[in-house]
Amino acid sequence: NAGVTQTPKFRVLKTGQSMTLLCAQDMNHEYMYWYRQDPGMGLRLIHYSVGEGTTAKGEVPDGYNVSRLKKQNFLLGLESAAPSQTSVYFCASSYSPLKGTQYFGPGTRLLVL
Partner 1 sequence: QQQVKQSPQSLIVQKGGIPIINCAYENTAFDYFPWYQQFPGKGPALLIAIRPDVSEKKEGRFTISFNKSAKQFSLHIMDSQPGDSATYFCAASYGNTDKLIFGTGTRLQVFP
Shortest Cβ 57–partner 1 spacing (Å): 11
Nearer to partner 1, 17 or 73 (CB): 73
Alpha carbon separation from 96 to 6, 13, 50, 100, 101 (Å, rounded): 21, 35, 9, 8, 8
Residue 45 C-beta: closest distance to partner 1, Å: 6
Helix or strand holding residue 3 (H, E) = none
- Cβ of residue 16: shortest distance to partner 1, in angstroms? 29
Of 8 and 16, the one with the shorter C-beta distance to partner 1 is 8
> How far is residue 12's CA from residue 112's CA, in Å, rounded to a whole number?
6
Binding stretches for partner 1 (CB under 8 A): 4, 31, 33, 40-45, 48, 50, 56, 58-59, 90, 92, 94, 96-97, 99-107
Minimum distance from CB of 41 to partner 1 (Å)?
6
Task: Please give the Cα distance from 81 to 37 (Å, whole number).
Answer: 16
Q: How many helices (H) and strands (E) does the chain have?
A: 0, 11
Closest CB to partner 1 among residues 4, 76: 4
Q: What span, in angstroms and rounded, lies between the C-alpha atoms of 26 and 103?
A: 11
Of 19 and 43, the one with the shorter C-beta distance to partner 1 is 43
